[in-house]
Each structure stands twice: as structure tokens, then as C-alpha cells.
């Protein structure tokens, strides 16, 4: 996919969503791991390639002892 872009929101607020990478290229079948940074405990990510459709991904951060895990749900 060419020019993949990630944006996010929490309860309609589109400001303050930070990622380790929010704009990149990918080859078919390639996986990309991007971390959601900052204090947003849950929200919706919008992932879109330049010539593709937009995909919504709901996420929430889960604290498991000292580890922080992110649970995602594709829509």
C-alpha cells in the first residue's frame, strides 16, 4: 500500500493522538506495528492508504501488572 496514514480520536476529540509512526509505505502482505503513545486509554484509529478504503480500529489499553497491552478490534 502506498502512503498509509493513521489518525485517531477519543470520544470525538481528534487532538492529542500520538503514534510511533503515522505515515508510511507498505508492501503487500507486510505487517507494521505502530504504538499508540500518550495518555489516551481508548479510542478509534483510522487507517487509510492513499488509494484504498479507510478502516476503523477500536482500541483500549489494558494494564497487566507492569505490562501495558493494547487490545484492538477491527470494524
Q: Specify whether the CB–CB gap between 62 and 68 falls below 8 A.
A: yes
Written as tens digits, the pLDDT of the chain (75 aa) is 678 898 999 998 887 788 888 888 988 888 888 888 878 888 898 989 888 888 888 888 877 766 666 666 554
For 53, residues 6+ apart whose C-beta sits below 8 A from its C-beta are none
Tell me what pLDDT residue 69 has.
Answer: 61
**Residue 47 half-sphere exposure, CB side, CA atoms within 13 Å?**
21
Tell me what pLDDT residue 36 has.
Answer: 83
Tell me what pLDDT residue 51 has.
Answer: 81
β-pair partners for 68: 63
Domain that residue 9 falls in: 4-74
Tell me what pLDDT residue 57 has.
Answer: 87
Question: Coil, strand, or helix at residue 22?
Answer: coil
Number of domains present in the structure of the chain: 1
Amino acid at each position: 500500500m502506498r502512503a498509509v496514514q493513521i489518525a485517531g480520536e477519543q470520544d470525538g476529540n481528534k487532538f492529542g493522538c500520538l503514534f510511533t509512526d503515522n505515515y508510511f509505505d507498505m508492501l503487500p502482505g507486510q505487517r507494521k506495528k505502530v504504538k499508540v503513545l500518550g495518555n489516551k486509554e481508548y479510542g478509534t484509529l483510522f487507517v487509510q492508504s492513499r488509494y484504498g478504503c479507510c478502516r476503523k480500529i477500536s482500541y483500549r489499553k489494558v494494564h497487566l501488572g507492569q505490562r501495558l497491552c493494547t487490545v484492538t478490534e477491527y470494524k
